[in-house]
Amino acid sequence: MKTVTFFTRATWLSVLITVLAFNSANAQIPTDSIVADFNEFVRLMEETHPDPYTNYGGRVFFRKAAMETRKGLIDDKVTDANELAKRINAFLVPLHDGHTWMQTADNSNMMTKKAAPIRFKAINDGVIVEAIMSEYKELIGSKLISIENISVKDICDGLAQHYPSENEIGRVSNICQDRGFMVDLGKVIPNMPNDSMTYQLQTPEGKQINLTLPLVGLMQIKEMSFSRPEHSNLFPEKNLAYSFVDEKKDIMYFRSQSIMDHDALKYMYDNGWDYKWKLQNMYRHMVGGDMPANPVEAIEQIPSFSGEFEKMLQEMKKNKSKNLIIDLRGNDGGFTPITLATLYQMWGDQFLKDQSNWGTIDARLISPLLLKKYNATLEDFNAESNTDYQLGDYAFEDDETAPGEITEEVRNRFISNCMSSVKDKLTAQKGKPVYTPEHIYVLTDPGTFSAAFHYTFFLSKMGAKVVGVTCSQAPNTYMEVTQFTLPRTKLNGSFSNSLQLFLPIDDPRAKDFYPDLMPTYEDFKRYNFDDNAIPMYLLDIINGQK
């Protein structure tokens, strides 16, 4: 069996954050340099992206869209790198690719942006108030109907012309992120006022109201008193934390905030990747205190995903626990390979057999940027993978193992390819699971993306029930993050370098991977819109109370 290796969004986003080179907001760049960088962007996109044409209607229409963007840059005499970034992102909208984007050139104007003191979140049947200035705390959980008399649907449709999304929940989620800034809503709300915004809401009691809120600067918003929903403390919060959530120790809860761990950081360190920002961030949140100056010592203190998972399964085995909840809400990915060992820990050889029948395909385009990401030459890449690829070839990482008995050789090859620091324990399993819970549930929301979605999908294929709100990641889409920098403006961005097909094209879940259990607005209301309403909803189902 060939192990699919995905290095996905969260990891590379953290790398990009460390290397962003922001231009001054007022720096003027000659228009011909702006156009030259756009031409370079198009060249790199055609060279790196696995399929830049289909979603535009074919190569001709891709080139036509590029020509029109280029003409706009010339006609408008664009001299600002930030404006180039915005126009590139608008050009990318038809691609519907959450891993291909351009970083705006300057963050210095963030503090000059205005927004209303209200925040929303998307659920399965609407958009609801998640946080609001404290004097309106009774409106927590209210449904958003419209903004300035423009419906939620029309606003989402308008924002989708400026910001790419992979599916419907992704389109809706645009209104819940930083698109709430006045500058963003101004793209879709004509004659938008400068000092206030009026929201049409339906309260939890069913009453429709108009709420006018001031538009204030971000620094002022930070100083305001905000109200949020209740927050149940029953569930552990930290990444890779786990505990029983019932007195009988029959229901285990495992929290994964990021598909990152000791093993991924060690891989980055060993292969010369930029790991420092990610290590500092993970150390602060998972260990705490002063980080050792020696990065190897610091990495050793970060828990291993499969290491913690094995300990958790041993606890479940000891107590003969039937139910496992894996919470991936808000998890925007990282390194998919670190999750594969946990599937073997739960199902052993059965996972290896089943995976060979999934019919999933991953086509990775061999390009100069991909090789740069891997810190390898084409010769090195071919030698390591025993291939003879040329630039422009696709590496198809579909499953090669025919159904049937899993040999020791196949098992050992899988373990050897695993990104895990407990390979000795995986070998000691000899194809048997550490422990297989009778019922496995995966919690998701729109923030479940990239490698976290991969884990959701793999668990689902093994029989787990998905519970919550639809992921903004599509099963059939482009994947991975490959960074680049434009030479003149120094803009940083990312291209997907692979195409994944997880489901048949006509499958109703090929774009929107609907959960098996989807709480409604009334369910969220029943739990007072608690931040943990989804796991609370599931607990009641497990306990037969719903």
Instruction: Give the model's pLDDT for residue 441.
Output: 98
Measure Cα distances from 289 to 83, 255, 301 in Å.
Answer: 41, 22, 12
Q: Which region, left, alpha or beta, applies to residue 174 given φ > 0 means left and ψ of -120 to 50 means alpha?
A: alpha
Where is pLDDT greater, at 209 or 182?
209
> What is the mean pLDDT of the segment spanning 271-292?
87
State the Cα–Cα distance between residues 527 and 533, nearest whole angstrom. Answer: 6
Has residue 409 got a pLDDT over 60?
yes
Mean pLDDT of 18-43: 75
How many residues are there in the chain? 546
Range 484-499 burial, b when 16+ CB lie within 10 A, else e:
bebebbebbbbbbbbb
Q: Report pLDDT digits (tens) over 362-377.
A: 999 999 999 998 888 9
Determine the pLDDT at residue 404.
Answer: 65
Q: What pLDDT score does 112 carry?
A: 62
533-537 contacts, C-beta under 8 A, 24 or more apart: 533/229, 534/329, 534/443, 534/445, 534/467, 534/468, 534/469, 535/232, 535/234, 535/235, 535/245, 535/253, 535/325, 535/327, 535/443, 536/232, 536/234, 537/467
**How far apart (Å, rounded) are the C-alpha atoms in residues 83 and 104?**
8
**Domain region containing 123:** 111-227
Judge whether 179 lies within some domain.
Answer: yes
Q: What is the mean pLDDT of the chain?
A: 90
**239 within domain boundaries:** no
- Classify residue 374: in a domain, yes or no: no
SS3 for 297? helix
Residue 215, domain CATH: 2.30.42.10
Neighbouring CB atoms inside 10 A of 320's CB total 10
Mean pLDDT of 428-455: 97
State the Cα torsion 50-332-447-364 to the nearest 10°: 10
- Digit-coded pLDDT (tens) for 38-55: 999 999 999 999 999 999
Instruction: Please choose, from the candidates 386, 387, 368, 388, the residue with its C-alpha nearest in 3D space to the C-alpha of residue 376.
Output: 368
Asked if residue 214 belongs to a domain, the reply is yes
Amino acid 136: pLDDT: 96
Residue 168 in any domain: the answer is yes
Mean per-residue pLDDT for 195-208? 96
Q: What is the pLDDT of residue 162?
A: 83
How far the first Cα of the chain sits from its last, in Å, is 42
Q: Is residue 352 part of a domain?
A: no
Q: Which segment, 41-50, 182-191, 398-407, is predicted with the most confidence on average?
A: 41-50
- Residue 201 domain-assigned? yes
Residue 477, in any domain of the structure? no
Token digits for 223? 């100083």
Q: How many domains does the chain have?
A: 1
Residue in 545, 542, 533, 528 with CA at minimum distance from that of residue 469: 533
Give me the pLDDT at residue 27, please.
67
pLDDT tens sequence across 94-125 = 999 999 999 876 554 555 678 889 999 999 99
Exposure string (b/e) for 67-102, b if CB count within 10 Å is 16 or more? eebbeebeeeebbbbbbbbbbbbbbbbbbbbbbbbb
- Rounded distance between C-alpha atoms, residue 308 and residue 434, angstroms: 13
pLDDT at 146 over 70: yes
> Does the pTM of the predicted model rise above 0.95?
no
